[in-house]
Amino acid sequence: MHLLVTLETSEEIYTLDVTPSMTLADLRAVIEADTTVQTDHQVLFYKAAILEGDERELGTFGMEEYDMILLRVQAPAPIQTSPVQNEVSAEQNAIMNDVEKVRLQMLGDQALCDLVRQTYPDLAAAVNDPPRFRQLLTQIEESRLHSEEIKRQELVRRPPFARSRSLVLTIVETTK
């Protein structure tokens, strides 16, 4: 069976060779192959009604030889995300890119790789395994951030005079 598909915004007509047993999802895929309109951007009309139910066979719509299908191109509804999710996603992508840059730099610089090996032998050993390298570098960074947070909390908990006294003691010790 042949169906004629026309885009709502143009006069171009596509003749598609289909079978009544093909599903609507199959038809969408054929349309995408012929028109390059992605399946999730397609709204299909047959006899002025929107075609729905991607699992339905074309024969169940009552289509006949050389019937006309109207194709409306529509952008899919955007996924609703909060600004915080977008910032986190962008930050995660930046971190992933930075990790890969570090790994590639180590691959291209043997001296750097040797230097890292002295302090983080597991990380240096994983330089040829991107997922493992990312995991180890992330763990190292999380550990560093955790240590910094503990130090910051300890400073905040100390009374102001104790912080001043330790600073004075440090100065006195260094001048002896």
User: What burial letters (b/e) apply to 143-160, b meaning 16+ CB within 10 Å?
Assistant: eeeeeeeeeeeeeeeeee
pLDDT at 108: 78
Domain parsing of the chain, residue ranges:
2-73, 83-170
pLDDT at 89: 56
Non-local (6+) Cβ contacts of 37 within 8 A are 7, 31, 71, 73
Residue 100 has pLDDT above 80, yes or no: no
Asked if 45 contacts 70 with a C-beta cutoff of 8 angstroms, the reply is yes
Residue 170 has pLDDT above 60, yes or no: no
pTM of the entire predicted model: 0.44
CATH class of the domain whose range is 2-73: alpha beta
